[in-house]
Structure 1
């Protein structure tokens, strides 16, 4: 699929695989990696898009966490194997370097726990005290299930309450809505465009936070026959702003990472290398 020509903004991504994957002999702590169980995004007018996680948004941070000595633990709603968005298996997300793309794909295929993740329910029941940080990759899949998952909402609040690093990229920041008192009502209002969504946002833990997310301009470039094949039900920027966040986006397909308190957010695939570095630095600083 030829969605876009990203140009120079993508070049940095290919450098993320310069180092071999290696973990230190002693773990610096567990990092919870939350992924979606969704395979299909419902669009407007009854259309659908086959979705999943984005390859570079998952592998680049995951790999850097391992290299830094952290122990990622994957969980999702159903405890099933997350699927990759086939459109993310493209060298344009790796600076045009097909070898880097192939290396990332091989790395993902070698992650045994990706085939058998924990369930979010089990993580919520056990508690999150054993984790030093949280990482959530993007792709459109979080727009389907994670944004309304009550177990994830509890997990997010537990990290928020004691300031543990929480890194989320691309469409991923939409999952912060799961920490609302009634995410289903909020999301239904956004889909209906009835102007009532903010009435369901009282008490949201992330109100007033600065963050970024996949921009409306970027989403609109993907909508249509050469991308999603239809229009999304609502834009992430609008939903997070309606909930009470200050959403900062930059020009389409330019890297952007925003840090506010414990929260680290990246705008889109081009942000993955910087996002990964900032997340690791935040974890290191928090450990000290």
Structure 2
């Protein structure tokens, strides 16, 4: 795997992100349903026209998902097409599990055993049914959300409903880019960001998350991946710039260090190495909201 050639020093720096060894099923008396929104995309268009094969990140999905289940919550998975989400093969690496090969293998096995990944709902059906039956919403990362979720109108309606009712919304890594779907004209905003025409802000009026403190995969981290052995090209725009242009206050820490930010109902995390902390904070927010 060539994507993250960061060496032994990076592996040594992150030794606390292993997946819990025991997976317990949700309790019979569920604490509530949590909507897990995933991408239907398996590739991302790059600036030069090339495509990067992607999907959800293994630890960004499994670590928080598992914490939700073990805390007694009932996940329901949905994506735009109602199809089976694809895993980014680059994420199936022990680097994201503190260098622990057994933890990586355990996480992969766990993901393979999540039957709900094969029984996804469409986002349109979630909108049609309404979101009142969910206590929270969780969006894992990977580059895939930048390909479809950021302009998905159904997701925009879903996120706005959680925002309006103050229910916990947890999003990690590239995932926070999906907050753009709540713009009045997300497609216009994204086209403007790609064109770099300086007009994106004109599409941002009325955005529900204006003024929120958030984090997302940092520009420095993205640039570290752009090149041979990584993405093999440049993303069309940086998530940090897009969220800031829309009106969010984006906070980043040093590359590859855990960073989780809570602002009102929104919990965001910077990258894969934030997965364990993010899962704990999100579960805590769900518990606090219920009280």
Range of TM-score over shorter length: over 0.9
- 1:7 partnered with 2:11: yes
1:212 aligns with 2:218: no
Question: Is contact 1:80–1:117 with CA below 8 Å preserved after alignment?
Answer: yes
Q: Distance in 1 between matches of 2:17 and 2:243?
A: 27
Q: Aligned residue for 1:43?
A: 46
Cα distance between partner residues in 1 of 2:30 and 2:227: 45
Q: Which of residues 58, 62, 69 in structure 1 aligns to 2:61?
A: 58
Residues 18-37 of structure 1: pairs in structure 2 closer than 5 A: 18-37=21-40
**Preserved CA contact (<8 Å) 1:9 1:255:** no
RMSD: 0.8
Q: Deviation per CA, 1:62-101: give whole Å up to 9, x if none.
A: 0000000000000000000000000000000000111100
TM-score, normalised via structure 2 length: 0.97
Match of 1:149 in 2: 152
The answer to whether the aligner puts 1:94 opposite 2:117 as a matched pair is no
Match of residue 103, structure 1, among 90, 106, 115: 106
Take 2:194 and 2:176, find their aligned partners in 1: how far apart are those partners? 17
- Size of the aligned set, in residue pairs, is 287
Give 1:20 shift.
3.0
Q: Distance in 1 between matches of 2:102 and 2:181?
A: 37
Work out whether residues 23 and 66 of structure 2, in 8 Å CA contact, stay in contact via their aligned partners in 1.
Answer: no
Contact 1:138–1:171 (Cα < 8 Å) also in 2:
yes
Instruction: Provide the residue aligned with 1:138 in structure 2.
Output: 141
Matching residue of 2:161:
158
**What SS does structure 2 have at the residue aligned with 1:23?**
coil
TM-score, with normalisation over the residues of structure 1?
A: 0.98
Distance 1:98 1:196 in 2: 47
Residue 104 and residue 229 in structure 1: after superposition, are their counterparts in 2 closer, same or farther (change >3 A)?
A: same
SS in 2 for 1:13: coil
- Asked whether 1:280 is paired with 2:280, we answer no
